[in-house]
Structure 1
Amino acid sequence: MKKTILLLISAAMMLSACTVETDSSGGTLRISAASSLAEVMTALEAEWQAEYPDTELMISYGSSSKLRSQIEQGAPADLFLSASEADAIKLTEAGLLEEETVVPFAANRLVLASRNDSGYSGTLEELFAATDEKIAIGEPESVPLGRYTKKILEELGLWAGLDGQLVYAKDARQVLTYTESGNAALGIVYSSDAFRSDKVDILVELPEGTESIVYPAGILTESANIEAAERFLDFLTGDEGQGILRESGFLPVSGEAS
């Protein structure tokens, strides 16, 4: 009997030790990320996996509004990386994003771009007036890039004059693809997307509108891997993550180049 009791105690101690040593930040970290982050996330993921090989990243891309809608409908996610403060706010108000974890990690600007063999040049107004070709933008009602574009062009008094020329894309990556392929003569894209593409030239940087383009990140209230999500947030907002973002054409949250 004593031998049996001692064996049970020993087994319990071993199980307890295993529990203490288990790193709950391992496993899989599910990230819903704005499509304009796709390229930089590749670099971030490579660095992350080198440091934390036990935590696999499972990344879903799309427009921030589409990803928000998926989360609202119950799609599993641990971390939301948005190109829109408005979408992060909506998830927070719905109780789906932990408010105290929401933090801005990057900023962006809009630029007018064209294929690098187009020969276009001039001011924004001149370029719009000089062509009746198609201009690619994000869908204003469902894509943050489109909402930013429409708002700035309205503030400049240029929106109404483009009626009939606009081609709407489902996300930021598709706007860039339309522009790179020549399916649209011009495209209004994020400066970070144009920065990384060797197929387009930046013709004009649009003025900063009344709504800043800020990327917030936050942890989902139903996250199954909170520790890993917290660690990735620290990585993203720390020197290492911020350096990778700058190298990929993103701006610091202040909006000032560094």
Structure 2
Amino acid sequence: MKKIIAFAAAAMLLAGCGASGAEEEKTLRISAAASLMDAIGELEPVFRESHPDTELVINYGSSTKLRAQIEQGAPFDLFLSASSTDMEKAADAGYIDAETVIPFAENRLVLVSAGTMDSNVEDVLRNPGGSIAVGQPDSVPLGIYTKESLDTAGLWDDLDGRLVYGKDARQVLTYVESGNTDLGIIYRSDAAISDKVEVVGELPPGDTPIVYPAGIAEQAENTAAAEAFLELLTGDNGRQVIVDYGFAQPEDGK
């Protein structure tokens, strides 16, 4: 009798493990740059409708922070980065299948304020008054792009003492929207979705194009779903959403 009970318990345990594995396969985990939050949010219901049995879990943050989480073992199936450098590092370290990496969007930097300004970008930045929100220049793609752009224009050193640093693109936008800073340097896509900031003008481009690449995990638990979401993102529907939310298509060269 004890042998029968023991066998039954073992069978139930194995069945439970099988069910757990099946549930894991039904989950699609995406690590996505914070600046993509609204665009991806627009595509979520489209994906859920075509994949009703797949649970979609999205982790937003700075691309550099997301890469660090991936390197520390955080589970993910698809990485949507605002930084080609972070994608390359993740692929070189074996976390991303390099053959799946594809650019799906580009962005630009703009200077924004909480009110209308008639001056151009350079005049506003050279004016000694007013605080400016920017991304962390040593760890956040937005901040790295910002410093590169302002260095190229010979403006970075002049801003010493005026800068307020944000942990990601959305925090920088929030600083300006809330009035915590007078100005902010953000992505054009973030300015496009905010009704609380005015664009003063576009910053000059730095040496590094702001390209958003996508890549599937080398050890993805749900490769099929990751491929399906990537197909949605790079298809006609996804391309239109990308443009609607202020991004540019990589081939536009704008």
Under a length normalisation based on structure 1, what TM-score does the superposition of the two structures give?
0.87
4+ runs of 1 displaced by more than 6 Å?
A: 23-26
CA distance in 1, matches of 2:201, 2:225: 40
Q: Is the 8 A contact 1:138 1:171 kept in 2?
A: yes
Determine the structure 2 residue equivalent to 1:163: 160
Determine the structure 2 residue equivalent to 1:4: none
CA distance in 1, matches of 2:251, 2:207: 15
Q: Is the 8 A contact 1:26 1:54 kept in 2?
A: no
State the shift of 1:113 in Å: 0.3
CA distance in 1, matches of 2:206, 2:70: 29
| One-letter amino acid matched to 1:216 | P
The one-character-per-residue Cα deviations of 1:117-164 (angstroms, maximum 9, x if unpaired) are x24221122102334211000001110000000000000000000000
Q: Which moved more, 1:53-62 or 1:181-190?
A: 53-62
Unmatched tracts of structure 1, length 5 or more: 1-22
Determine the structure 2 residue equivalent to 1:229: 226
State the shift of 1:26 in Å: 6.7
Determine the structure 2 residue equivalent to 1:43: 42
Q: Is the 8 A contact 1:30 1:76 kept in 2?
A: yes
Determine the structure 2 residue equivalent to 1:61: 60
Q: Is the 8 A contact 1:107 1:251 kept in 2?
A: yes
State the shift of 1:60 in Å: 0.2
Show the 5 A alignment for 1:1-258: 27-115=26-114, 118-256=115-253
State the shift of 1:51 in Å: 2.1
Number of equivalences: 233
State the shift of 1:28 in Å: 1.1
State the shift of 1:256 in Å: 4.1
CA distance in 2, matches of 1:185, 1:255: 32
CA distance in 2, matches of 1:24, 1:85: 32
CA distance in 2, matches of 1:244, 1:26: 27
The one-character-per-residue Cα deviations of 1:92-126 (angstroms, maximum 9, x if unpaired) are 110110000000000000000011xx242211221
Note the aligned Cα RMSD (angstroms).
1.6
The one-character-per-residue Cα deviations of 1:32-70 (angstroms, maximum 9, x if unpaired) are 000001111110102211222222210001100000000
State the shift of 1:191 in Å: 0.2
State the shift of 1:255 in Å: 3.9
Q: Is the 8 A contact 2:116 2:198 kept in 1?
A: no
Percent of aligned positions that are identical: 54
Give the SS at the match of 1:60. strand
Q: Is the 8 A contact 1:25 1:226 kept in 2?
A: no
| One-letter amino acid matched to 1:80 | F
| One-letter amino acid matched to 2:151 | E
In 2 relative to 1, CA 105–97 (structure 1 residues): closer, same or farther, beyond 3 Å? same
| One-letter amino acid matched to 1:246 | V
State the shift of 1:85 in Å: 0.1
Give the SS at the match of 1:54. coil
Give the SS at the match of 1:254. helix
| One-letter amino acid matched to 1:59 | I
| One-letter amino acid matched to 2:246 | G
Give the SS at the match of 1:43. helix
Q: Which moved more, 1:200-209 or 1:95-104?
A: 200-209
